Amino acid sequence: MKIIRAECMGFCAGVRRAVQCADKALLENKDGQVYTFGPLIHNPVALKNFEERGLKVLDENSINKIKKGDTVVIRAHGVTPEIFESLESTGAEIINGTCPIVQVNQKKCADYAKDGYIIFFTGDKDHGEVIGIEGAAKKAALEAGKKLNFILVKSVDELKDSAGPFLNKSNVVLLSQTTFSIKIFDEIASELKEKIPSIEIVKSICPATHERQSSLDKLCAQVEGVIVIGGKNSANTTRLFNKAQKLCVHAALIENASEIPEEFFALKTVGLTAGASTPDDVIDEVEKKLLSNHEI
């Protein structure tokens, strides 16, 4: 069997940075508890490893557990300004692991909200990054005495109901979650441009997202089947899998080596790609099992 890895796969720079922040906090904080606000990354294998090392996860309802001397790592997705202020007020050490690209996106949305823009935003409603960005826009609009219009859309079909009230407006902008599908973003941008010619289009999708999707195109042309490795709750991993299904007869989404479908052991060439939250060692385990064809 021949294994071909995608040219771009696995940890993106933002996730790697957040993981390094958590690693460092666990090594250095010997007296207090180390927390992350929300799951550090969307990968159950990595999360289990961190849990075994003592890392605990917080949500809005458990901030009152934090004590002085504890450490809180903010994950790559970021948080709302209100959450950040609440965490700071505990007296714990706050390590901001928010991806720099997400931070830029937060600032852009906040600036547009402050200027009274109607913001169309492509993304997933309950995703941590989207919640943080909308929160930053909401705070900026409130401080500027403006009404926030933040319209979240995931497809062209959703524009039928949401774009109507804003067709004659001049201060309209489109931005995106950093891991959103480039293809769907372009479709939404084209449709909005037709309805609102003056709209500003800000392509705030992370370059790593584009690189992973482009690498998958090249990979699928060289193999009989593709395995996408990553958390099944990861938005960018799921989008890679959806694309792989369209490009390959054999496509699977797995979280670890034990989930490799039997059909892949009979193929002569197998491609591997992985979401932005997938650790290197998990990818290595999958390749090792495919080549050995027995339980690791």
Q: What is the pLDDT of residue 117?
A: 96
Most confident of 162-176, 259-273, 280-294: 259-273
- Radius of gyration, CA atoms only, the chain: 21
- pLDDT in the model for residue 170: 85
pLDDT of amino acid 167: 77
Render pLDDT for 94-149 as a digit per residue (tens, 0 to 9): 999 999 999 999 999 999 999 999 999 999 988 999 999 999 999 999 999 999 99
Lowest mean pLDDT across 81-90, 161-170, 176-185, 206-215: 161-170
Is 85 part of the annotated catalytic residue set?
A: no
Q: What is the pLDDT of residues 42-56, one digit of tens each?
A: 888 899 999 999 999
pLDDT greater than 90 at residue 164: no
What is residue 256's predicted lDDT score, i.e. its pLDDT?
94
pLDDT(187) > 50: yes
Percent of the chain at pLDDT > 90 equals 79
The b-or-e profile of 74-96 (16+ CB within 10 A means b, else e) is bbbbbbbbebbebbeebebbbbe
Q: What is the DSSP string of the chain?
A: -EEEE-SS-S--HHHHHHHHHHHHHHHH-SSS-EEEES-SSS-HHHHHHHHHTT-EEE-GGGGGG--TT-EEEEPTT---HHHHHHHHTTT-EEEE---HHHHHHHHHHHHHHHTT-EEEEES-TT-HHHHHHHHHHHHHHHHTT---EEEEESSGGGHHHHSGGGTT-S-EEEEE-TTS-HHHHHHHHHHHHHH-TT-EE-----HHHHHHHHHHHHHHTT-SEEEEES-TT-HHHHHHHHHHHHH-SEEEEESSGGG--GGGGG-SEEEEEE-TT--HHHHHHHHHHHHH-S--
pLDDT in tens, 3-25: 999 999 999 899 999 999 999 99
Position 295 confidence tier, pLDDT thresholds 50, 70, 90: very low
pLDDT in tens, 230-256: 999 888 899 899 999 999 999 999 999
Q: What's the pLDDT at 188?
A: 95
Mean pLDDT throughout 73-82? 95
pLDDT score for 296: 41
Residues 194-222 pLDDT 10s = 989 999 999 999 888 888 889 999 999 99
- Catalytic residue chosen out of the listed positions 93, 129, 134, 285: 129
Residue 294: per-residue pLDDT: 44
